[in-house]
Structure 1
Amino acid sequence: MSSEEYILYKRIADQIRIEILEGHLQPGDRLPSIRELTRQWNCTPGTVQKAYQELSHQGLVISRAGKGTHVASNIDPALMQSQGPLRRATLVHRAEEFLLEVLTAGYELPEIQQSLDLAMDRWRALAQVPSTPSGQTLHFYGSHDMAVTWLANHVHEIAGNTVIQLNFTGSLGGLMALADGRADLAGCHLWDPETDTYNIPYIRKFFPGKHMLAVRLAERRIGLILPPGNPKDIRSLADLTRPGVRFVNRQAGSGTRVWLDAMLTQQNIHADRIDGYENEKPTHSEVARAIAEGAADVGLGLESAALAFKLESHFLVVESYDLVTFAERAQREPLHSLLGWLTGEKAREGMGSLKGYSFEHTGEKIEV
């Protein structure tokens, strides 16, 4: 599936999902036919089918041959309320992101545990004190990145009483959330093969006629993540097709996946020859974990993730990671303070402990 088809099917599924969860569509309501949505969205029938399949897997719709697609009559109440397992999974995910950051910075597990225990004791004490008015929340959607996690953990030092809510949805998902009004800030690293540049062509495609701002966060080293010693001698994308090589992939829509698919096309490597191409993970840390646990032999991801799990990384490319927002919104607090901080030396000093990154161009701005 091309990036354009991915964008469309996600938008179709998101729009229907919101209408169902907000009660605009009721159980039993018939949804538009594939032919109708194909005309409405100017896309292929396969794109609409993919959207309906996703909603069906989530238990939101039911499709029957000859009877069309209807809103499910027994939607899980926990899904309607966005509570329960989803909330717990989000918390565990945030905890793992913090662990990956401090492990990458060189800390050991015992001292991390000791520091967490101390921090928990302090927060328990603070919980007995009357709370002060809450600050502002910045909603971030986009590609998984350790520098972004670092910003979220230190934003109170940069922009006062501010919290960054992280939603790692992939680069395309971040731009979609910004366009739909869910995000204040999107993070992306999308390579465009036609111009051999990052991000700007995609921003123009998503926001035609809009005044946008892209701010460089970092350059990141991406490579093949491998077990120590590289026992299967994997050194190129072509090696992914060898018998006995198990691959673990990033999810469709992530910048890493966009780059991989473009490279496979350029090198005439067929994805169906790669064992594990459909085995998708939402973050670089989960790719690295799969290899560390022996569930896969190779993945594509951040050098910093490989180092955190004591794995090897065979370098392939340096990519540009940008923070994207509306130019007018960037002038308002707390975004103005956060993006302004990135232009200073304190940004390079603060994030400099992250391995596998370059912050030489951090804070540079491009208006689109």
Structure 2
Amino acid sequence: MNNEESLTAVDVAELLKITKNTVYEMVKRGELPGYKVGKKLRIDKKDVENYINSQKVAKGSNNQIKILIDEPVIEENLSNIKKAENSNDIIISGQDVILDVLAEKIREKANDIRVLRSNTGSYSGLYDLYNDKISISSVHLWDGDTNEYNTAFVRKLVPGISCLIINLAYRNVGFYVPKGNPNKITNWKDLIKQDISMINREKGSGIRILLDEKLRVNNINREQIKGYNIEKQSHSAVARSIARGEGNVGIGNEKAANQVDGIDFIKIQEERYDLVIKESDLKYPIYQLIIRTIQSEEFKREIESLGGYDLKDIGKILDKT
């Protein structure tokens, strides 16, 4: 690509490791120059590069790394900071647009708080929570031994620390296949068919762990799956790869599948998408505000407007570890 090339919102989201909706918000706020070609948003690559260069971290006089932006936080920068240099910083880890909406609501209600976003998968998010690199982690990790979501992983990855597991939503996950499902893919054992090649998610993502756990409990050898080591960084990227004919099957949530032409979605199961907060942090008013926000009717209505979520338990504390 050359510097004059224009990028779509999806292209920019993948470069910055943020969600597509965050890209739209950045253009709306004037942080990134954008323009329309027909009905589609376009952003020049050189403007994205200028943005990245302007957001790089610098060392202060005391040799402590200081982050220079409020939002979004680029993933590489997060590895250089602890939970927050400033007690007024909140870092929320996860990739779903629900978290972008939550961050916006908290900023509106507490304008003295910086709400930052880390675009990492569930496994890495819990690891960072345990190591005080972030404040809150989202999680959707299926455990093959219990046939349940999240609790077992929170106990293993955040050991010895009492955490609240608060529901955000339920989402359908399943196979992404070419339109009409020409290879008749309906179950996990179909992945080892000789004429099947898959597009996988990265290690640490909820979908990758779901796949690996399902392979384990069904005694399927991953080495028999063509394309197992081909990884994409988002549901949308997997869906687009299948639509382009780069593979016969991928796995992701239904919401992303509905945004891509040329593929069908074959439901596997319903996943639980939760937020994990350390119980000891509830002494800080900001965490109480976050929970109240999630439990509010206003927040529920806004998430309902996005479509694709079952909100029957939104805001409920489903478990405590």
Asked if TM exceeds 0.5, the reply is yes
Deviations 1:251-301 (A, max 9, x none): 122221111111112222211111111111222122112122222221010
1:141 equivalent among 93, 97, 105: 93
Residues 306, 161 of structure 1: CA spacing in aligned structure 2 closer, same or farther, 3 A cutoff? farther
| Cα drift, residue 242 of structure 1 | 1.5
Q: Does 1:342 align with 2:294?
A: yes
Residues 206, 357 of structure 1: CA spacing in aligned structure 2 closer, same or farther, 3 A cutoff? same
Look up the SS of the partner of 2:159 in the other structure: coil
Deviations 1:58-92 (A, max 9, x none): xxxxxxxxxxxxxxxxxxxxxxxxxxxxxx88764
Asked if 1 retains the 8 angstrom alpha-carbon contact of 2:140 and 2:271, the reply is yes
CA distance in 2, matches of 1:283, 1:159: 30
CA distance in 2, matches of 1:306, 1:152: 25
Look up the SS of the partner of 1:352 in the other structure: helix
Residues 90, 295 of structure 1: CA spacing in aligned structure 2 closer, same or farther, 3 A cutoff? closer
Look up the SS of the partner of 1:287 in the other structure: helix
TM-score, normalising length: structure 2 = 0.71
The amino acid that maps onto 1:322 is D
CA distance in 1, matches of 2:162, 2:298: 28
Residues 242, 172 of structure 1: CA spacing in aligned structure 2 closer, same or farther, 3 A cutoff? same
2:20 equivalent among 67, 78, 96: 96
Q: Does 1:205 align with 2:151?
A: no
Q: How many residues align?
A: 259
Residues 346, 112 of structure 1: CA spacing in aligned structure 2 closer, same or farther, 3 A cutoff? farther
CA distance in 2, matches of 1:193, 1:160: 42
The amino acid that maps onto 2:163 is M
Residues 254, 91 of structure 1: CA spacing in aligned structure 2 closer, same or farther, 3 A cutoff? closer
* Greater C-alpha Rg: 1
Look up the SS of the partner of 2:41 in the other structure: helix
2:271 equivalent among 301, 316, 319: 319
TM-score, normalising length: structure 1 = 0.63
Q: Does 1:354 align with 2:306?
A: yes
Deviations 1:309-347 (A, max 9, x none): 133210001111111121121342433212211112222
What RMSD over aligned residues (CA atoms) do the two structures have, in Å? Answer: 3.1
Asked if 2 retains the 8 angstrom alpha-carbon contact of 1:155 and 1:163, the reply is no
The amino acid that maps onto 2:167 is R
CA distance in 1, matches of 2:114, 2:242: 33
Q: Does 1:290 align with 2:214?
A: no
Asked if 1 retains the 8 angstrom alpha-carbon contact of 2:144 and 2:217, the reply is no
CA distance in 1, matches of 2:264, 2:24: 16
| Cα drift, residue 231 of structure 1 | 2.8
Q: Does 1:172 align with 2:112?
A: no
Asked if 1 retains the 8 angstrom alpha-carbon contact of 2:92 and 2:135, the reply is yes
The amino acid that maps onto 1:362 is I
Residues 267, 90 of structure 1: CA spacing in aligned structure 2 closer, same or farther, 3 A cutoff? closer
Give the structure with the larger helix fraction. Answer: 1
Asked if 2 retains the 8 angstrom alpha-carbon contact of 1:222 and 1:317, the reply is yes
CA distance in 1, matches of 2:185, 2:23: 28
The amino acid that maps onto 1:236 is N
CA distance in 1, matches of 2:214, 2:286: 38
Look up the SS of the partner of 2:17 in the other structure: helix
2:223 is aligned to 272
1:149-228 pair list within 5 angstroms = 149-160=100-111, 162-228=113-179
Asked if 1 retains the 8 angstrom alpha-carbon contact of 2:105 and 2:293, the reply is no
Residues 95, 147 of structure 1: CA spacing in aligned structure 2 closer, same or farther, 3 A cutoff? closer
Residues 281, 113 of structure 1: CA spacing in aligned structure 2 closer, same or farther, 3 A cutoff? closer
| Cα drift, residue 235 of structure 1 | 1.8
Unaligned runs of 5+ in 2: 1-11, 26-35, 44-69, 71-85
Look up the SS of the partner of 1:325 in the other structure: strand
CA distance in 1, matches of 2:172, 2:17: 23
Asked if 1 retains the 8 angstrom alpha-carbon contact of 2:201 and 2:238, the reply is yes
The amino acid that maps onto 2:208 is R
The amino acid that maps onto 1:272 is E
CA distance in 2, matches of 1:90, 1:285: 10
Look up the SS of the partner of 2:246 in the other structure: coil
Asked if 1 retains the 8 angstrom alpha-carbon contact of 2:13 and 2:20, the reply is no
1:230 equivalent among 176, 181, 190: 181
